[in-house]
Amino acid sequence: MSQDKLQEINADFDGIVGEPNFNMPQAKIELAKYVLTALFILVLLIFACSFIPDCFVTERAKKLSENIYQSAVPIVSMILGYYFAKD
């Protein structure tokens, strides 16, 4: 192709894209809040399910609830350590 057939494209993105506005410490706290809230709700649901009579609960569901109870503390401590440790 010759030079005269090529057109120069000028793009002006001023005012369209905007300025980046991101606060990393605030984003870490919000993400940790969402994850910890979800874990808390999950543990509450499993705790509420523990009051269901045994005839309605399978052995597999009991093992799942035990595993979640045992893994909740390490997960929470990992989240707190990662998101709230000094950078």
Q: Is 11 inside a domain boundary? A: no
Task: Enter the pTM of the model.
Answer: 0.56
**Looking at the domain assignment, is residue 49 inside a domain?**
yes
Tell me the pLDDT tens digit for each residue of 17-76: 666 677 877 888 888 889 889 888 888 887 787 787 877 778 887 888 788 878 888 888
Q: Which of 21-25, 75-79, 83-87 has the lowest mean pLDDT?
A: 83-87
In a domain, 7, yes or no: no
Band the pLDDT of 16: cuts 50, 70, 90.
low
Distance from CA of residue 59 to its chain's centroid?
30
2 three-class SS: coil
68 backbone φψ class: left, alpha, beta (φ>0; ψ -120 to 50): alpha
Domain that holds residue 79: 24-84
Asked if residue 76 belongs to a domain, the reply is yes
Q: How many domains does the chain have?
A: 1
